[in-house]
Amino acid sequence: MGKVYVENIRVYAYHGCLPEETLIGSDYRVDVWVAGDLSVSSVSDQLSDTIDYVSICACVREEMATPSKLLEHVAQRILDRIFKASERVEVVNVKVSKINPPIEGHVGAVAVELYEEKK
């Protein structure tokens, strides 16, 4: 078992419960790690034998493009999409951070992190 990390994916998206959040959007950061059997690819050196991080990034970008009210919802969609995209993935961990959320006072970011093992 090994892990593949795709960190600091920057996306501008339109998530939130407030009407203005879905109109003006905000900056987001998404961090993902997945676990699976990397033993074949570590020997073969072939992309077809591994968990493709380009595919993971595409899953994140596509799901972030669909607005959700809650970060939990978009994180779950990303998680589900990654499982569907690669049969090699056994575990997914997704962290979605909203940069500079509309909260009184200075808050750099808020985040939700979900973890799930293949069923």
Q: What is the pLDDT of residue 67?
A: 95
Which residue ranges make up each domain of the chain?
2-117
Q: What is the pLDDT of residue 115?
A: 98
Q: What is the pLDDT of residue 59?
A: 98
pTM: 0.93
DSSP 31-70: EEEEEE--HHHHHH--GGGS--HHHHHHHHHHHHTS--SS
Q: What is the pLDDT of residue 104?
A: 81
The per-residue pLDDT string of the chain (119 residues; one tens digit each, 9 = 90 and over) reads 899 999 999 999 999 998 888 889 999 999 999 999 999 999 999 999 999 999 999 999 999 999 999 999 999 999 999 999 999 999 999 999 999 888 887 899 999 999 999 98
Alpha-carbon dihedral 40, 45, 47, 51, rounded to 10 degrees: 40
Topology annotation, domain 2-117: GTP Cyclohydrolase I, domain 2 (3.30.1130)
Q: What is the pLDDT of residue 106?
A: 85
Q: What is the pLDDT of residue 46?
A: 95
- Active-site position among 3, 69, 84, 98: 98
Q: What is the pLDDT of residue 71?
A: 97
Q: What is the pLDDT of residue 101?
A: 87
Told to judge if 98 belongs to the known catalytic residues of this protein, a careful annotator would answer yes
Round to whole Å and give the CA distance between 55 and 12.
19
